[in-house]
Amino acid sequence: MATLNSDLVVLEPHRPPAPWSGDAGALAEALKNNVSGEVRFDAGSRALYATDGSNYRQVPIGVVIPRSIEDVVATVATCRSFGAPLLSRGGGTSLAGQSCNVAVVMDWSKYVNQILEINEQEHFARVRPGVVLDHLRAATKPHHLTYGPDPSTHAWCTLGGMIGNNSCGTHSQMAGKTVDNLEELDILTYEGLRMRVGWMTQEDLAAKAKEPGRVGEIFRGLQQIQVRYAGQIRERYPNIPRRVSGYNLDQLIPDSSGRFNLARALVGSEGTLVTVLEAKLRLVHDPAFRSLLVLGYPDIYAAADAVPDLLYSAPIALEAIDHLLFENMRKKHLHEDYLGLLPKGKGWLLVQFGGESREESKAKADELMQKLQSQPNPPDMKLYPDDADAKHIWTIRESGLGATAFVPGEPVTWEGWEDSAVAPEKLGGYLRDLCKLYEKFGYIGALYGHFGTGCVHTRISFDLFTPRGVDHYRKFIEEAADLVVSYGGSLSGEHGDGQSRAELLPKMFGTELVGAFREFKELWDPQWKMNPGKVVDPYRIDENRRLMDEAERWDPKTHFHFPDDEHSFKRATLRCVGVGKCRRTIGQEPGDDTMCPSFLVTHEEKHTTRGRAHLLFELLKGEELEPKWRDEHVKEALDLCLACKGCKGDCPVNVDVATYKAEFLSHYWDGRLRPRHAYAFGWIDKWARLASVWPGAVNLATQTPGLAYVAKVAAGVAPQRDIPQFAPRTFKSWFL
């Protein structure tokens, strides 16, 4: 094991944000008057936005769905006049709790999602924050350009969220993180100051610092941070490809040309500093052809050890999966057909090359294969000339999170230490030590991720249900933080700090730099209203837990048995881990996933598989919603579910809303008269049998204009629909 810091940092005493004690009703009224978008302060909407992809839960004050930038400006102004905290939200897929808070949540995803410009000559795009990454990539593709950072959630995460989290993905090997691919931001502070920020020289900074009022104050503060902390920043910011933890204060230090980019310093601030209104993004050349080579090693450590050498071949992506992930997928029958495509081994590296022609990208892969073949103990190798096979291999890799959660016969695994990062050349050692830590604490967790940039993904079998388990989890996280710091790494190499890691930042940066984070926060948000309790002066990692008081959640008697969920509906409502794949609106081609048809039409969170599952969780929680089967919010959310079972197959954790809907509705209607159409269609077999006795008379009643109208009203059928005619004889009498 690497030597741990001898002077381990003791975490600071907790300074929780002051709770907001304003009048939510009056705030809602004011917002309704000032905003043309949707303002929802009802219990159902608040429950719906209480969590993200993390282990945390904080019920918001209310939800605003702005229609325009003017709406956003009005929302911020109205919240300011009530002193209410604010939280922006895109796809809500954050894994560290930075997308839930006791705040007014602005959901950008539904309306404020325009691509404003794609500049082919100068390689940039201007977007609103609600744009989904794959929508942008589809628009830039014809220009042979792409946006480089590509999280696994690329088909549903938003650019606002990516800027908030400093996201990146498989191709950070080629293009870096969001911070490396951003030119300018149009921002709004909580105080109402709107600015366009981007590249500046020290002279620009000095000129701005002379301006009167808040502008001058902010820029003078930036000057002071530069002067006071430049040394500490150079010394303590790890020089590794995947440092995502902490504010990007390193971006305030001028580069060799004497410039720095203020917009980049705001990237990764998780909505705690400013609201982003527009972004100018750098586009990169998109290699026209890609070739995938997979290398099989005896174990994941051997795969990690091989990484530094492979980097000399300049792949555009270098990813890993281990045998545990492979086994989990087999047990879950997830992409089972694709697993057979992998070469032999128990730890695999996916090495992708780009080129302007198929021959060029393949030649790079061939060259690497020859080189490896000439060395002792070469890995088992497989090149995938067929694009469909390569796509299947990437599907295995991208399914990592879903594949490792809720594996039959295995303990449930959770996020919490799911994206730490070290320098690629230290990866093998770090992984060995991390696994020793798992052993010490009795945990298991598959290992996979972006090995080419030293970032490790894993979900760990923490017990988050019992106080003892949570205590154990906390101790593990503290030791894991010490371990990664001893390797010169980063607590987060991808997903951000949120609440899962922010408390640990002093271990990584030291108390002085954490003080600099506090100064930076205070410059932009002196009232501490922007996503409070995240990143700076954060909530503890073990508070606001979604599973807090789980034993007290309602555990109702049900008709279905839920055999995959310990025979408990309560347990089934825990299944959704917030991946958000049900929010996908792009890539829906024949053969692609079905989930979720109702969201595709309404673009409403409550009509996603995730939204419905979360509302059912909240129903049993009984805090915002009454723990009774007759809740109208839940009924409304489930109403548009087509019971197509798309989610059961497509959701990475097999959330089965159709079954949950049947369970809920059976209790909802128990002892009540159902709507007319329920009798008309629920008993269609009986009506049809009766109609077959007098088909002529029935057709007369359903097809004659006036009578048909009465029949449709009686059956609860929409007047514009036609009732099908009955055949003059039944099929059976014709056949016999």
Write the DSSP string, 73-136.
HHHHHHHHHHT--EEEESS---SSSTT--SSEEEE-TTT---EEEEETTTTEEEE-TT-BHHHH
Q: Is the dihedral of CA 514, 517, 523, 529 positive or negative?
A: negative
Q: Does 129 bind ligand FAD (CB under 6 A)?
A: yes
Cβ atoms of residues 66 and 470 within 8 Å: no
Write the DSSP string, 386-448.
SHHHHHHHHHHHHTHHHHHSS-TTS---B-SS---B--GGGHHHHHHHHHHHHHHHT-----E
User: Judged by CB, which is closer to ligand FAD: 9, or 267?
Assistant: 267
Cβ atoms of residues 532 and 58 within 8 Å: no
Q: Does 646 bind ligand FAD (CB under 6 A)?
A: no
Q: Does 538 bind ligand FAD (CB under 6 A)?
A: no
Tell the smallest beta-carbon distance from residue 299 to ligand FAD (Å): 23
Q: Beta strands 104-107 and 86-89: pairing type? A: parallel
3-state secondary structure of 327: helix
Q: Which residue among 75, 165, 189, 352 contacts ligand FAD (CB under 6 A)? A: 165
Q: Which residue among 208, 495, 529, 584 contacts ligand FAD (CB under 6 A)? A: 495
Q: Which residue among 58, 140, 146, 153 contacts ligand FAD (CB under 6 A)? A: 153
Tell the smallest beta-carbon distance from residue 161 to ligand FAD (Å): 2
Q: Does 558 bind ligand FAD (CB under 6 A)?
A: no
Tell the smallest beta-carbon distance from residue 86 to ligand FAD (Å): 9
User: Judged by CB, which is closer to ligand FAD: 229, or 417?
Assistant: 417
* Positions 36 through 55 that interact with ligand FAD (CB under 6 A): 52-53
Q: Which residue among 160, 246, 315, 355 contacts ligand FAD (CB under 6 A)? A: 160
Q: At what angle do helices 202-209 and 213-236 cross, to 10 degrees?
A: 140
* Positions 315 through 374 that interact with ligand FAD (CB under 6 A): none
Q: Does 266 bind ligand FAD (CB under 6 A)?
A: no
Tell the smallest beta-carbon distance from residue 652 to ligand FAD (Å): 7
Q: Does 449 bind ligand FAD (CB under 6 A)?
A: no
Q: Does 531 bind ligand FAD (CB under 6 A)?
A: yes
Q: Does 90 bind ligand FAD (CB under 6 A)?
A: yes
Cβ atoms of residues 574 and 617 within 8 Å: yes
Tell the smallest beta-carbon distance from residue 338 to ligand FAD (Å): 18
- Cα separations (Å) of 522 from 232, 459, 487, 528, 537? 19, 34, 31, 7, 11
Tell the smallest beta-carbon distance from residue 158 to ligand FAD (Å): 4
Q: Which residue among 89, 135, 264, 280 contacts ligand FAD (CB under 6 A)? A: 89
Q: Does 291 bind ligand FAD (CB under 6 A)?
A: no
DSSP state of 607: G
User: Judged by CB, which is closer to ligand FAD: 92, or 646?
Assistant: 92
Write the DSSP string, 225-255.
HHHHHHHHHHHHS--STT--SS--GGGGS--
Measure the CA–CA gap between 316 and 611, rounded to whole angstroms. Answer: 36
Locate 96 and state its tokens. 């560290």
Locate 356 and state its tokens. 């302007």
Measure the CA–CA gap between 326 and 335, rounded to whole angstroms. Answer: 10
Tell the smallest beta-carbon distance from residue 246 to ligand FAD (Å): 14
Cβ atoms of residues 91 and 158 within 8 Å: yes
Tell the smallest beta-carbon distance from residue 625 to ligand FAD (Å): 23
User: Judged by CB, which is closer to ligand FAD: 238, or 271?
Assistant: 271
* Positions 398 through 437 that interact with ligand FAD (CB under 6 A): 401
What is the binding site for ligand FAD (CB under 6 A)? Answer: 52-53, 87-95, 98-99, 108, 129, 151-153, 157-158, 160-162, 164-165, 167-169, 270-271, 275-276, 401, 494-495, 531, 579
